[in-house]
Structures are given as structure tokens and as C-alpha cells.
Amino acid sequence: MNKLIITPKTKIYDLLEAYPQLEDVLISAAPPFKKLKNPVLRKTITKITTLNQAATIGGLKVEELINKLRSQVGQTNIDGVGDETENYTTEKPAWFEERNIAETIDIREMLNAGEQPVHEVMSAIKKLNENEILQVIAPFIPAPLIDKSLSMSYRHWLNKKDSEEYRVFFIKKNSNTLGFKN
């Protein structure tokens, strides 16, 4: 049987199905991965989260995480993996006005309950009116959410409050932003 080749695009669910022994390697690589022990999260979040996104969540270099996992299963190291987080806006953009926050969703509660927040957040993003901002509070960088919003022509700002709290602000790309990019 051919085993899964580990790449940045490999979903965590597929990785752990093919190589269950890598769960401890992931958890030891970054504390946020302890959530993999939660069976409900394991069945939901891991199906949409790639190793590239997981590295972002864990504050790790993608290349280091991939090579650590690959070496555990006898695959050769790879190099030259780009860091996709460079697509994330981390400097406060010109369009951000706190008074324009129309809704706040704290996904920490959903994640702790084992729920998948992507559909609720995407639904809220789609309901935004001109210049309205959606605020999402998360316990880690919600890479799958940001990546999904980028593919749907929304702008974002990722603001790290501390190691356990990130805030992501979303706005429609075509909102009146005085011609500023971001």
C-alpha cells in the first residue's frame, strides 16, 4: 500500500489517518496542537486544515514542521517551502475603524465545544454591508478561515493580542477604503 507523501498541502486528518504515530510529534512541535486529543475537533478541524496552516497556527516554520514529520516516517527532507502567512495582513490597515465592527464571533467557545466555526464565520462575512467589519476572536491564527476569505475577495487584518488570543477583522474588498490597499 502506498503511504501518503507529506507536503504543506497535506490535511492533518489525512496525515494522522496514514501515520497515527505522528500525533505525538505534532503535539510536541507546538502546544496549540494539544487540541488534537479532542475527538470532536479531530473529526472537524483536521479535515480542512493543511500542514501549512497548522504550522502557522503553531507558530512554526512550514519547512521545519514538514521535515520533522517526513523524517519520522522515512521520507526525505524537502526545502524551499514558501511561507504562505506572508499573505496575511498583520499591520493595521487604513480601512480599519473600530466603530465599523458590526459583529463579533468568538470561535474559542465553538472550538472548545468541538464545533466547526468556518460555516458560521463565512455566513457572517457574506452578510457584511459596505464598510462593516466582522471581528473573529480565536485561540490561534485561524489560517483556514483567513485562506477561505482571501479566496472570496475579502480583506482581513490579523491582530495578535497574545499567544492565546488572535483577532481577525474582515471587510469586503470593494468597501470604500479611500483607495488604500490591504
Within a domain: 6:
no
The pTM of the full predicted model, rounded to 2 decimals, is 0.65
- Residue range 3-49, pLDDT digits in tens: 888 988 899 999 999 999 999 999 888 877 887 887 777 777 888 88
Confidence category of residue 85, pLDDT binned at 50, 70, 90: low
With helix as H, strand as E and coil as C, how does the chain read?
CCCCCCCCCCEHHHHHHHCCCHHHHHHHHCHHHHHHHCHHHHHHHHHHCEHHHHHHHHCCCHHHHHHHHHHHCCCCCCCCCCCHHHHCCCCCCCCCCHHHEEEEEEHHHHHHCCCCCHHHHHHHHHCCCCCCEEEEEECCCCHHHHHHHHHCCEEEEEEEEECCEEEEEEEECCCCCCCCCC
Domains in the chain, number: 2
Q: Which residue range forms the structural domain that includes residue 40?
A: 12-85
Q: Are residues 94 and 168 in the same domain?
A: yes
Among 6-20, 54-68, 141-155, 164-178, the range scoring the smallest mean pLDDT is 164-178
Residue 80: pLDDT above 70?
no
| 179 within domain boundaries | no
Shared domain for 104 and 162, answered yes or no, is yes
Q: Looking at the domain assignment, is residue 168 inside a domain?
A: yes
